[in-house]
């Protein structure tokens, strides 16, 4: 558990020296996957630093710490699965009374514009 906390701290602070250890690359992949998945899949997790993690992944690839193809595959899968989860949540929650109450608070022209878009 301490390894995950160290990696999260290193990712948050963009500490390349701590992330360059080849023994922890699989944990770095997992943390990046989880971060992108949660950022795209759950609204309360949208504050997570997904964009800066992509830049960090590119820097780690350039330094030779991570491989290009596995990184692209893992991060693409994380973003895709997160978007799919977000779609499922919207589909499931879209017709509930709570969401309809929230939508009733919007001005009619914005609601009509969104309905026409989708």
Give this prediction's pTM.
0.72
Q: Is the pLDDT of residue 4 over 80?
A: no
- Structure-block tokens of residue 59: 């820097």
| Tokens (6 digits) for 69 | 């193809």
pLDDT in tens, 61-117: 998 888 999 999 999 999 999 999 989 988 888 778 887 887 788 888 887 887 788
Number of structural domains found in the chain: 1
Q: Residue 55: which domain range?
A: 2-117
To the nearest whole number, what is the mean pLDDT of the chain? 84
Rounded CA-CA distance 67/44 in Å is 31
Q: What are phi and psi of 24, to 5 degrees?
A: -115, 10
Residues 6 or more apart whose CB falls under 8 angstroms from that of 6 comprise 18
**3-class secondary structure per residue, the chain:** CHHHHHHHHHHHHCCHHHHCCHHHHHHHHHHHHHHHHHHHHCHHHCCCCHHHHHHHHHHHHHCCCCCHHHHHHHHHHHHHHHHHHHHHHHHHHCCCHHHHHHHHCCCHHHHHHHHHHC
- CA distances to 82, 106, 110 from 68, rounded to whole Å, are 21, 45, 43
The whole-number pLDDT of residue 74 equals 95
């Amino acid at each position: 558990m301490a390894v995950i906390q160290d990696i999260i701290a290193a990712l948050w602070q963009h500490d390349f020296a701590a992330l360059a250890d080849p023994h922890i690359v699989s944990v770095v992949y997992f943390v990046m996957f989880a971060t992108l998945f949660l950022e795209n899949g759950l609204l309360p997790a949208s504050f997570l630093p997904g964009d800066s993690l992509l830049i960090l992944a590119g820097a780690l690839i350039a330094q030779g710490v991570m491989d290009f193809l596995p990184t692209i595959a893992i991060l693409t899968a994380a973003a895709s699965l997160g978007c799919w989860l977000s779609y499922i949540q919207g589909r499931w929650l879209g017709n509930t009374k709570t969401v309809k109450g929230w939508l009733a608070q919007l001005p009619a022209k914005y609601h009509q514009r969104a309905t026409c878009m989708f």
